[in-house]
Amino acid sequence: MNGIMKWFVHNPVAANLLMFMLVIGGLVGLQKVGKESFPSISPHQIEVSVVYLGAGPEEVEERIIIRIEEAVYDLDGVKRVRGTAREGIGFVTIEGLDDYDIQKLLNDVKARVDSINTFPRLSERPRVSQPVFNNAVMRIAIAADLPEAELKEMGRRIRNEMAALKGVARVELNGIRPYEISIEVDEFTLQKYGLSFNDVAQAISRSSVNMPAGKVDNESGNIQIMTRGQSYTGADFEKIVVLRNEDGTRVLLSDVAKVVDGFTEDKFMAHINRKNAVLLNVNTGENPNVVAVSEVVTKYVEEELRPSLPDGVEAVIWDDQSKGFKSRASTLINNGLSGLVLVFIGLMLFLTPRLAAWVVAGIGVSFLGTFMFLPMTGETLNMIGMFAFILILGIVVDDAIIVGENIHRENQRGVKGEKASVLGVIKVSKPVIFSALTTMIFFAPMAMVPGDTRQFTTVIAVVVILTLTFSLFESLLILPAHLRHGGEEKPGLLARFFTKIGLTKWVDYLRAKADRLLDVTITKYYRPFLDKCLRRKAVTLSVFIGMLIFVIVGIQMGGYVGFAFQPSVPQDFIRAEYTFPSGVPFSTVKKATRELEDSAYKVVQDLKVKYPDAKIFKATMAFASGRGARAFFVLEPGEDRPVSTEEITKMWREATPFFPDAKEIKFDNTFNNDSRGMRIRLSSSDSKAIEAAAEALKTKLASYEAIYYVTDTADSAQAEAVLSLMPSAENMGISLRDLGLQVRQAFYGEEVQRIPRGIDDVKVMVRYPLKDRKSFDTLNKLRVRSATGSEVPFGSVAKVNYRPAYTTIRRTDRSRTLTIIASFEEGKQAEIDKIREDLKENFFPDWEKKFRHVDHTFSGGAEGQQEFMNSLITNFAFGLLIIYILFAIAFRSYFKPFIIFTALPFGYMGAVLGHLFLGMDISIFSIMGIAAAMGVVINDNLVLVDYICSLRDKGYDVIQAIEISAEERFRPIFLTSFTTFIGLLPLMTETSVQAQFLIPTVVSLSFGVLFATAVTLILVPILYILMSRARDRIYNLLGWELKEVLPNPAE
């Protein structure tokens, strides 16, 4: 390695060519790398869904869910099986083991599911797939008070136009219902004409048909023969003959039924700005460019779409991911440049302008080298990747500072030119290489976390490892060649520039003052203080240990600094959601949606009056579906608004009426939607035991002040009507199957056929009118037809028994489950861990004795977060072991690596204090900053310990080696910590939404480095002495030869 470094110093052309290659390659790679807001992920799971229309949840569970679970649970690679049974459909999710081939698991699941031959006859074919989640580049709404069919077709036309735009892979159209033709005939009409549902269905099937009949092939040519009578519209179906009388008269379908050519009866409503709306999601392809696609689509909307829309129709771009991407990129560039300017000024004052310029340029070269290779890794440049670049910004400068400062010190000793560069880089190459390796090892676990989180965090490890790799190339091979002119009297280019603009005098003055300040600090303050500490080693060690215990035990474990897995960062988006029990009338859900919409409109009007000239809102949105009422505010960027997201949320909450029937009420304005929730999953084969256990747990959770609302996922049971036959039915030849089919035809309907209409397959259903299907009294009017054609009243052959039945059934690993949901007050997220520990220690032991057959698990986000943290801690410990082995081999010592590691807990201590000073909770982003700080503080310890060891090898005793090393290495240690801190200072004071995610990382890194520096400069020398003395005593005890003697500190 030394020979390579020498060769590059003596061949500056090679160093420059290497730099140019990295710069040009980086610029090319920057153009080629995909750009997206967040990574598109493929969850490591398989989904199986089976539609069984008209069936209740218990029937779906028994006939669908359990059959699939039993078929797939023992497959290789299966980690967990979850099932959900709802009315008319069943879902099973098979979660795969992290390192198992998901494609093989998909094929195995398909084979097992296809082999099931006991599915109900009326169920549809199972759908087996691996989900892929793509982040939409843009979300656009078309809003207008138009008929549903007209709005749907307008949305399709716009979708097709957008899909043809450059860079757009596909456009999804949402908020629409499928077309359906409903042929509605009541019981009175059936009896009047002597018809049954089967008669009507058969008449349609006979008449509405297209059938190829072959062709005539002769010498004259080919003629295709076809029967064409397919009905395509409601008007076509109305003309179908249902009955022909003997007198020649005909009864048409329009005479006996009402034909509704409309939509399915799905319960759904979508409003944008209080108008009906359809939604368009724009997606990119394999090599995304979120900014370019956004520009193309925005241009289309503004210049082509909006001018062509009829009056009263709006095209609203309510979500543009490119803005978040550009905002994060702007944060990186602006704060990065500001940090680099501060780093340049700091290095220029304490070293030289030439050295400062080349060190700063080296950071850019390292980043461009990363961009050159980033496309080859399969990763994209997304907001998480840019977060990694910001994270590494405070670290990557350290290698160049260590090398540059050492070359500068050789110049000060009188060594000039290439010799100074060679000596300077060779002396510190060992700590520089090992410090970079340790930082890489600290971040490598981010690529090995379990579950789908890995697809988000891998890019962090890739960016850090690539950047540090090219930082080594730059600092060890390129930088020394550029500093080979150091110490020469001939001024450099930068010095001549300063002279030209008249700054040389001021720069020299400030450099002299800074140099004097550093010398005074070392000689007058640091060295005397270090000597005192060396004479009072026990006291000094006790003080450091006491501080560590106080911070960890007193401050963090005492609750003064909490832990929240993700920080609650307010976004430019507010969501309100009411969830109702299954079976609730859709009219109630729609009413709640309108109330949310009206209260949102009231907030808009109030703020317009208060801030007439301010632009606060982009759009208001409201959706009703099934049993959920949701509404959204889409806001202008926070820095451009006179009112905060929290204030708007509070106004909206106060303006919205309370719905007592709602199961769950949620107002949320953070990126982390589950940040104020705790979920506990109960599982058992005994449903009654689960219900009793859940009530006891909910009562306990409701007693905590931090929790404002407790509910569960067990939808309240609704009545289920169970049909059975009377004995008289058998005498008439009516079976239970006949009864069930006829009731199903009346209430759910019979699908007669599916007709092609453009790109749609339209169902044709025969059934009772909607008003009859809404009333249970209709059942008593039903006439049951026997095989002989006789009709009898329903009540004479059948009876109805009522029983409670679940409306949704959830299962995990082949057991029924129920999840308790506790919602926390705003600002109380850090209480989750305290409550969880209190439950484990003071509640669950007695609860488990009472409910022996019920298991409990902290589920949802907590389950994944715990798995993530356990994996991170395990991998981090393994990384420390690897680092120890590397250091032990490098220093040929079992003990010296422990001296280097001593700064690690103090770096953590500094991060905790930084969060305390700024009133922040520790989060996963804080932990990433702590990992980065570990790399910096190990770098500082390496620099000091390596120099001590080199002096010891030359024959210096311990005290002399420590005193000389402390004085010689004070400047590089101070500069690495100082430049890291000031380089991150602009980001720490940033107020944009995008920066709020980064600030916990920056606080951990900057304060961790700041506090660990004191450990490096004071505690490490003391520990070195103590370990040396301990080793000497062991040698004396064993009678081994001592190669060095430790003098008294007074000497």
Residue ranges per structural domain of the chain: 1-32+351-502, 45-129, 186-210+225-256+718-805, 505-569+860-1051
Rounded CA separation 754/745 (Å): 17
Provide the pLDDT for residue 900.
84
Domain covering 505-569+860-1051 in this structure, CATH number: 1.20.1640.10
Count Cβ atoms within 10 A of the Cβ of residue 51 and give its class: 0-12 exposed, 13-18 middle, 19 or more buried. middle
Q: What is the DSSP string of 901-961?
A: HTHHHHHHHHHHHHHHHTT--B-HHHHHHHHHHHHHHHHHHHHHHHHHHHHHHTT--HHHH
For 580, other C-beta atoms within 10 Å of its C-beta total: 22
Which of 210, 322, 319 is CA-nearest to residue 755? Answer: 210
Q: Judge contact between 161 and 267, C-beta under 8 A.
A: no
Rg of the chain taking only CA atoms, in angstroms: 37
Highest-confidence range of 148-157, 608-617, 1012-1021, by mean pLDDT?
A: 148-157
The average pLDDT across 411-417 equals 80
In this model, does residue 674 exceed pLDDT 50?
no
The average pLDDT across 954-960 equals 81
* Mean pLDDT, rounded, of the chain: 83
- Band (pLDDT 50/70/90 cuts) for residue 109 is very high
The average pLDDT across 638-649 equals 82
In this model, does residue 1048 exceed pLDDT 50?
no
In this model, does residue 787 exceed pLDDT 90?
no
CATH of 186-210+225-256+718-805, one of 3.30.2090.10, 3.30.70.100, 1.10.10.10, 3.40.640.10: 3.30.2090.10
Q: What is the largest CA-CA distance in the chain?
A: 132
Rounded CA separation 944/957 (Å): 16
Provide the pLDDT for residue 180.
93
- Band (pLDDT 50/70/90 cuts) for residue 1046 is very low
In this model, does residue 788 exceed pLDDT 80?
no
Which of 406, 410, 393, 405 is CA-nearest to residue 471? Answer: 393
Per the DSSP assignment, residues forming a β-bridge with 632 are: 575, 621
- Band (pLDDT 50/70/90 cuts) for residue 20 is very high
Residue 1031, classed as helix, strand or coil, is: helix
The average pLDDT across 846-875 equals 77
The average pLDDT across 856-879 equals 74
Pairing of strands 760-767, 179-184: parallel
Rounded CA separation 947/252 (Å): 101
Rounded CA separation 992/383 (Å): 14
The average pLDDT across 121-149 equals 86
- Band (pLDDT 50/70/90 cuts) for residue 675 is very low
Pairing of strands 210-218, 855-859: unpaired
Residues 72-80: contacts with CB within 8 Å, 24+ apart?
72/48, 72/108, 72/109, 72/112, 72/113, 73/813, 73/814, 75/105, 75/108, 75/109, 75/112, 76/100, 76/105, 76/108, 77/101, 77/104, 77/105, 77/108, 78/105, 80/812, 80/813
- Count of residues in the chain: 1051
Rounded CA separation 789/100 (Å): 59
Highest-confidence range of 300-304, 433-437, 564-568, by mean pLDDT?
A: 300-304
- Band (pLDDT 50/70/90 cuts) for residue 718 is low
Provide the pLDDT for residue 128.
92
Count Cβ atoms within 10 A of the Cβ of residue 957 and give its class: 0-12 exposed, 13-18 middle, 19 or more buried. middle
Hunting for tokens 């007669």 — which residue is that? 752
Structure tokens at 120: 């109900």
Higher pLDDT, 612 or 1044: 612
Structure tokens at 595: 């109330």
Q: Which helix (H) or strand (E) holds 329?
A: helix 321-350
Q: What is the DSSP string of 671-719?
A: S-TTTTEEEEEEEES-HHHHHHHHHHHHHHHHTSTTEEEEEES-PPPEE
- Output the CA torsion 411→412→415→416 (10° steps): 40
For 853, other C-beta atoms within 10 Å of its C-beta total: 11
In this model, does residue 557 exceed pLDDT 60?
yes
Q: Judge contact between 1008 and 910, C-beta under 8 A.
A: yes
Strands (E), 398-502: none
Phi, psi angle pair for 788, to nearest 5°: -85, -5
Q: Which helix (H) or strand (E) holds 619?
A: strand 617-625
- Band (pLDDT 50/70/90 cuts) for residue 582 is low
- Band (pLDDT 50/70/90 cuts) for residue 863 is low
Judge if 1-32+351-502 and 505-569+860-1051 fold alike in CATH terms. yes
Rounded CA separation 9/418 (Å): 6
Q: Judge contact between 794 and 782, C-beta under 8 A.
A: yes
The average pLDDT across 271-299 equals 88
CATH of 45-129, one of 3.90.1150.10, 3.40.50.1370, 3.30.70.1430, 1.10.260.40: 3.30.70.1430
Provide the pLDDT for residue 217.
79
Class (C level, CATH) for 1-32+351-502: mainly alpha
In this model, does residue 451 exceed pLDDT 80?
no
In this model, does residue 1049 exceed pLDDT 70?
no
**Residue 789 Cα distances to 188, 203, 204, angstroms:** 17, 17, 20
Which of 946, 963, 901 is CA-nearest to residue 533? Answer: 963
In this model, does residue 686 exceed pLDDT 60?
yes
Rounded CA separation 37/388 (Å): 14
DSSP code of residue 555: I
Rounded CA separation 812/141 (Å): 37
Provide the pLDDT for residue 715.
57
Residues 6+ apart with CB under 8 A from 1024: 899, 945, 948, 958, 962
Mean pLDDT is lowest, of 455-464, 538-547, 826-835, for 826-835
Provide the pLDDT for residue 1050.
36
Provide the pLDDT for residue 1047.
44
Residue 242, classed as helix, strand or coil, is: strand
Provide the pLDDT for residue 296.
92
Provide the pLDDT for residue 1051.
35
To 10 degrees, what angle do helices 924-953 and 958-988 make? 150
- Band (pLDDT 50/70/90 cuts) for residue 516 is confident
The average pLDDT across 55-84 equals 90
CA atoms within 13 A on the CB side of 615: 6
Provide the pLDDT for residue 1045.
44
pLDDT tens for 220-243 read 778 888 888 889 999 999 999 998
In this model, does residue 499 exceed pLDDT 70?
no
Mean pLDDT is lowest, of 21-25, 114-118, 141-145, 614-618, for 614-618
**Residue 1023 Cα distances to 625, 717, 865, 900, 901, angstroms:** 66, 68, 37, 10, 11
Query: Percent of the chain at pLDDT above 90?
Result: 16
pLDDT tens for 727-750 read 888 778 888 888 888 888 898 888
Residue 59, classed as helix, strand or coil, is: helix
The average pLDDT across 853-860 equals 79
